Every structure is written in C-alpha cells, then in structure tokens.
Chain A
Amino acid sequence: METHEIGLTIRDGVKVYPGTIALNHVDFDLHMGAVNVLVGENGAGKSTMMKIVAGVEPLTSGAMELFGKPVRFHNKNQAEAAGIGIVFQELNLFPNLTVAENIFIGREKTRMGIDIDRDYQRAETRKILKRLEHEDIDPDTPLGDLRIGQQQIIEIAKSLAQSARILILDEPTSALSAAEVDILFRVIRDLKADGVGIVYISHRLEELVRIGDYITVLRDGLVTGARSMEGIDVGWIVKNMIGGASKDFPKTEVQAFGAEIFRAEDITLPRMGGGYLVDHISMSVRAGEILGVYGLMGAGRSEFFECVMAQHPSSGGKFFVEGKEVRERSVAGRINRGIALIPENRKQDGLIEILSIRENITLSSLKDFTRIFHMSLAKEARAAAEYVRKLSIKIASLENPVSSLSGGNQQKVVVSKALMTNPKVLLMDEPSRGIDIGAKAEMFRTMRALTAQGLGIIFITSDLEEVMALSDRIIVMADGRISGEFDAGAVTSEDLVAASTPGRTEEKETPLEEAAS
C-alpha cells in the first residue's frame, strides 16, 4: 500500500462538555489523498472530533497541527479558509433560496463587491453538479423543491465549490439511494486522486470497508483502534466499537409477565417525497415487561412513538390497549386510554420551562383535582408533593420554575407527569439522555419498580449496554422497519449492531421494492 502524507493531526485532544467528557485524550491522523473512516456508537465522540477539526468547537486541551503547523480555529470560517470543508449530518441549507444561491451562500461571487454575478454562480453550479452526475438539477430551482437525497448532494456540492483540501462527510449517505451512493463513491475516488484528504463517518459498516483507506474507531471518547483498512472486516470494527467482551449485567429476577397490554399493528408513516419513515411496524408489550427498541438515529423509532401519541395525522395502522382498539385521535384521549409518553427532547417536548415544578407535574392530570371547573390547588400541591417524594426529586420548592433543576431531576418531573395519568403502558424515548450516571441508575431502578406494578414499558435507546441490561425483549429497528427481535437473555451485542446496520435491510428488501414499483 502506498503511503499517504499526513495532513492534519490531533495530539492528546480533550473536549469537555458540562457533565461529560466527549473526547478523552485522543490522537488522530488525517491522511491526504485517502479516505479516513471514523466509526463508533452514537455519542462515542465522532461528531465532536470533526466539529473540532472544522472549527465549530474548540479543543479544551491538546494540540492540532495542519501540515506541520500548529493551528487553533476559533470559528468555522477560519477552518474554511485553511481548506477544511464539512458536510454535516443535519442539512444546513436554505429551502427558500435556489440551488446556486445555497452553494455560494456566504461567499457570493460579486462584481465590485455589490452586484451578485448570477451567471457565474449558475455556470459554476452546473459544473459542480455535472461532476456529481446530477446535471438534471437546475441551479435556479428553490432548494426546498428537491428530494432529501438531492439536498444532500447539494450540501456536498457546497463543500466541493470551496475546493477544500480536507473534506469531512458526516453520514453523507443516510438519505441517499443506492444509485446516489455509487455516484458519491465515484466522486470520492476522484477527490482522492486530486489529493484531497477525506474523513468519512458512517454507521453502514459495509460501506466503510468498501471505501475506506484508514480507520479510526472511537468508544466513549477514547480511540480504541486506528490503522490502515487493509485486512479489516466488519467483525473487527464491531469488536472495537463495543469493546472486547460485553460486560455482564446483574439482571433482576425474571418476573412472570401478565397479559398483553399494548399492541401496535401495521403502523405506517409516509415520508415526504416517497417511502416510509415508519414502515409497517407491529409490536406488542405485556404487563410487567420492558421492551427495548434499539437502533441508530433516523431508524424511525421516535417517529413510531409520535404515531402512538397521535402526533401524525397522516399515519396509518391500529393500536390496542388491553385488547381494545384505541380509536381516540387526540392526545388527551390516548392518555385517558392509558398511554403515556416521555419524549426524547425534554426541553422541547417534555417540559414547560417557564412554569413551576408543580404545574409541570400535574399538567396532564388536572381533571383529578377539578370539580366541574373549580380546581383544588391544595389537592394539586399534595399530589405533586407525593410524586416528588416517590421519585425523590431534589427540589428547593414546588413553586420554583422547572428550568432551575438538573437534567436528571427534570427527567423525573417528566416521568412524574406521565405516571400521574395512571398509564398502562409507558413509552420512554431515550430516558437516560443528558443525565448523569447516578441519575441513570436511579431511572432504571424506577423503570423496574414500575413494571413490578404491572406497567408495560417500551423504551428507545441508542446505547447497547443499556438496551441489553434493561430489556426483557429487544426489537431492533433500521430504516423504519423492524430488522430483528431478540430475547434479552440470548442476544449478543454483535447481533444487535449487525441488525441495526441500515444497509443490510436495504439490500434484502430492494428486489421486493423493485417488484412493487
């Protein structure tokens, strides 16, 4: 194998966010004229590392060198000026502007500094799109009219237009079709030949083996493997991603499960521009059972919960609670039937930060304290205080705004709100997100205690250890479908990772789809 010049290095890089260490003394070499692959579980620190390279975030400590010279970027523009381009996982585009305007945003080609040279921008855009084999996209179409996959191509075109020497692609294929992926790979090979150093982040492991020249594996902010890609297979990657042997978790004694308490049948949620976000999902949970739903971001797990909670009028399928169909179309109706959701994003969907702790806890159950229309504040405060004690929420006063609490305590407030509605089934979306380890353990104990009382719990997580430690049964989702179902006792982390890799289900299903269309 030929040797590649090292363009950028990080030595002893540390990045600390409030509460967590995202990068723990990492070393990283970026080879020019090659594809440097970066893998790891969600939250392993891949995106953080690339944000540092691209100047979006500064290093807490450690050194970064670009072509042998120490550099420290304070913002993205400095990194861009140094020839580093990044394509983020989330698109950073302007739907109301045209394709050409998007590609030249922030560095418009002007005549005498005032008048934008539209003809030049259009011509350049055509040239770049030709290189990306997407001549069919007109530079003058508003970006919002394009499919998500095409938008992703535009995002890549934007970086190409800056003639970056180092190009970071953060999960560029997550929204692309197989044909588009092939085009992208051809472009990447061209760029390589031009001497561009490429960093490629993806969860599709087969893809990495196909395209990569060097690989760096991250786990919990540590680099667990860094070498050239030669002789590496998917098994080696998985082993380094999740550690040599899975830790053993003390399992609470197996309880006898009750009857089926919640069932979802054939749930669908169409995606804008064709296909499904939630693709005919069926699952059921029994009283006293914890069902873990594992998968990567974008697998359609949260969307499934949103369908259950009546957030998508366009969704299809049926739900049953205790065998009886749920026909209610309103959130309140579904809460009444015994479904409760603990959303993934506490601040956005779970809490009303401006209101007090008491008001947040009781928001879903005000009827319990109301006669005709008169609400008993004393009764309400008693009920809220009871849950504060039950879940040992640490508060100075019930009347303080909920925003003054720590993440773990805020999460307990959301859980209290859900429990106060006397649910039969509890949907928890990433219940341990953004809370510290102690609070996590407490949350898990609470979950076990709840199932002992006969609740059914479905919880979503992207954390392998968590899903294996906590679930009685595990469902893996990928690309909106269920790609595997396992008994928690018998499953290995390798099985779960393999099932959650989106590429596999896609290959398997492609002939079917072609036949259907």
Chain B
Amino acid sequence: MSSAVANPSKDNQSGAMLLLLLKARTFIALIVVFTFFAFAAPNFLSTANMIIMSKHVALNAFLAIGMTFVIITGGIDLSVGSIVGLCGMVAGWLILNGVDIGLGWTIQFNTLEIMLIVICVGILIGLINGLLITKLNVAPFIATLGMLYVARGSALLSSDGRTFPNLNGSAEYGNHTFYLIGAGDFLGIPISIWMLVAVGIGAAYVANRTPLGRYIYAVGGNEKSAGLSGVNVHMVKIAVYMFSGFCAALVGLIISSQLVASHPATGNMFELNAIAAAVLGGTSMSGGRGKIAGTIIGAFVIGILSDGLVMMGVSAFWQTVIKGLVIIAAVVVDQAQQKLQARVVLQQQAALND
C-alpha cells in the first residue's frame, strides 16, 4: 500500500504536466535553440558544421561533467581551465623534448604513454586540490583559485610563455599519431566525441549505479549526516576533484592535438563555461542536486548558442550578453521548478494522510 498514489485531481494533473515541462526545460531549450539556428543560420545543418560544432561542445562538456560532480558535493573547481593549459604544455614538452634523465639521453614516449602521463598530471593536481580542501580545510573556492594561478603560472614557466609548435612527433618514437586524438575519427565521428560518449556514460553510471555516486549526492546534501551514516566524506571529496582534474587533462590533450601545438594560455576562462553548462543543466550550486545528462545538454545549449550566433554574424559583444541572460533565466526557471515540485510532493503526502 505504501506505493499507492491517491487519485490525482484535475489540479494535480495540470501541476504534474507543468512539472514535467519544467523538468525537461534544458532539453526543450536545446530543441528551441537548434530549430532556431537551423532556419536562421545558413549551412547550420550541414554535416561539416555539425561535426565542428560537436567538437567545440565536447571540450566544454568534458570540463562540465567533472565540474558537475564537484558542484554536487557542494564545492567548486576554478582550476580546470588552468589544468587544461598546463596539461597541454606537458604533452607538448613530452613530444618535443622527451624527459631528460641526466645520463646524456632522453626518454621518448609513444602516444599512449603521453596520454597516460598527461592524465596522471591532471589527476595529481586534482588530488592536491582535494587534499587542500579536506585535510587542510581550505574553502574550495580559495584552494582552486590558488591552483588556477599556480597551474597557469607553471604552464607559462614551462616554455617561457612561448608556444610549443609542430607537435607532429616522429614515427621512430611512436608519437607521430598524437594528432589523431583531436583530428582522427572512427566511423565518421571524431575521436574526441567517442571519448565524450565514454566519459559521459561512465560518469552517469558512477552517479546512478555505484555507492560512490550516492555518496557524492549525500555529501552535498548534508555533510554531517553523511559522515554520521558512515560515508567517508574526505575520500568522496578528494575523488571528485581528482575526476575533475582527469577531465581537464583530457581537454588539454585534445586541444593540443587539434592545434598540433600547445600554448600556455589555452583554457583561459574555461572554468566559467563549465560552471555555466552545469548550472544550465540543473545542477544546484548549493550541492546535492544535479545530473550528468542535464550537464551535457547544458553544454550543447551553450555551444550551439555561441556557434550559431557566430554563423548569424551577431557581434561577439552581444553573444556574451545573450549567454549571460540564458544562464540567469535557467536558474530562475529552476527555482520555479523546485517550488512546484515541493508542492506536488506535499500534496501526495497530504492525500495519504487523509
């Protein structure tokens, strides 16, 4: 009997309908934006444009997925843009210089090894973020703000601010395939999109079907209760920052591979776009609420919006204003949804008590 729901009245039905619309709002926004540009922007629907656009979106989506977990725990990761830059520089360094071990030779790595090393660098930076936040009790905003500067500075130091050009690698060392990460495709779909699919599905799986995912939501919902329920709060927090670092490392690899060069300023302000995508997708900045699928759709809305506006020839200044308005509107609608949802649930519960 516990799952029996009282017969919904007419009022309830319209409420439930409205709730459904609000819940799917990011998806609806995506359809609206897409349809609009399909008519308004020339060549918008061409295959070439679709592929270019999805490549753009993927970069932000990676960061936004990592950011979503961090925000669900009630934190924030401002350092991801800088990690992108630093990881790109690490990849460039490894291809151009290898590692000098001081015996007169240098060790060179093949593409797969380079990827693994770069990913480890990203995870390591995330680990430092996590340790600062948990063990040393630094506020996430401050810890990752500090890391933003440290990582960006390190990236600039690594090349004295210059670009590492021509990352073509050499067949001899097995790293001539580096360009494929960003430029290759499989079954006509870019590798980076396949990677996004894999990371997205993996993240959604972790969020919904593993204890770790549940703990992430629990820590964000109420840290004290979670701790008293036996959740290792520190471990959970460290894990999300490490994952965020992992995502940033992937983006660093993809960008330097696409450009066949790495520039230390790469990734500037990326963190803000990632936060915007997460929020647009329904992630609550106060923690405990958010969905990976929502975040990916949010990233697509932002990406299509900016690319579409470019294709329409709207000025870059207006683009910025429009992006900001969309984000604010998303949060306002989100608040309305929360209110309505609470009311519908209370009605159900009240019907039960009658």
Contact = CB atoms under 8 A, between A and B. Distances in A.
A355 B228 contact: no
A269 B214 CA distance: 33
B317 to A, nearest CB: 39
B210 interface: yes
B21 interface: no
Given A331-B230, A395-B2, A352 B349 contact: no
Contacts of B332: none
Interface stretch (B105-113, B180-188, B215-223): B215-223
Nearest to B289: A354
A18 to B, nearest CB: 14
A374 B210 contact: yes
A442 interface: no
Contacts of B220: 354
B345 A348 contact: no
Contacts of B211: 366-367, 370, 373, 375
Contacts of A421: 230
B351 interface: yes
B226 interface: yes
Contacts of B14: none
Contacts of B221: 352-355
Contacts, number: 112
A374 B205 CA distance: 9
B49 interface: no
B200 to A, nearest CB: 18
A406 B342 CA distance: 14
Contacts of A330: 230, 232
A393 B2 contact: yes
A331 B227 contact: yes
Contacts of B215: 366
A355 B352 contact: no
A69 interface: no
A350 B221 CA distance: 12
Contacts of A406: 353
A382 to B, nearest CB: 12
B288 interface: yes
A352 B286 CA distance: 13
Interface in B259-310: 288-289
Interface in A335-358: 335, 341, 343, 348-355
Interface string A377-403: 100000001001100011111101100
Interface in B334-354: 342, 345-346, 348-349, 351-353
A355 B346 contact: no
Please classify how large the interface on chain A is, using the bins under 10, 10 to 19, 20 to 34, 35 or more. 35 or more
A234 interface: no
Nearest to A388: B2
B228 to A, nearest CB: 5
Given A373-B210, A393-B2, A349 B228 contact: yes
B3 interface: yes
Nearest to A380: B214
A309 B210 contact: no
Given A349-B224, A377-B209, A400 B348 contact: yes
Contact of A397 (B222, B288, B348): B348
Given A348-B224, A377-B209, A332 B3 contact: no
Nearest to B230: A332
Contact of A355 (B5, B217, B230): B217
A405 B342 CA distance: 11
Nearest to A309: B228
A328 to B, nearest CB: 11
Residue in B208, B210, B222, B224 with the greatest tally of chain A CB atoms within 10 Å: B222
A355 B214 CA distance: 10
A417 interface: yes
B302 to A, nearest CB: 26
A228 interface: no
B229 interface: yes
Interface in B136-151: none
A3 B211 CA distance: 70
A348 B227 CA distance: 11
Residue in B209, B211, B226 with the greatest tally of chain A CB atoms within 10 Å: B211
B231 interface: yes
A363 interface: yes
Contacts of B229: 331, 335, 363-364, 417
B348 A396 contact: yes
A354 B288 contact: yes
A92 interface: no
A61 interface: no
Given A352-B221, A385-B2, A311 B352 contact: no
Interface of A: 309, 311, 330-332, 335, 341, 343, 348-355, 359, 363-364, 366-367, 370, 373-375, 377, 385, 388-389, 393-398, 400-401, 404-406, 417, 421
Given A359-B218, A406-B353, 6 more contacts: A374-B210, A389-B2, A395-B2, A396-B348, A401-B345, A404-B342
26 contacts: A311-B227, A330-B230, A331-B230, A332-B230, A348-B225, A349-B228, A352-B226, A354-B221, A355-B217, A355-B218, A366-B215, A374-B209, A375-B214, A388-B2, A389-B2, A393-B2, A394-B2, A394-B353, A395-B2, A395-B352, A396-B351, A396-B352, A397-B348, A398-B2, A400-B349, A401-B342
Interface of B: 2-3, 5-6, 208-212, 214-215, 217-218, 220-222, 224-232, 288-289, 342, 345-346, 348-349, 351-353
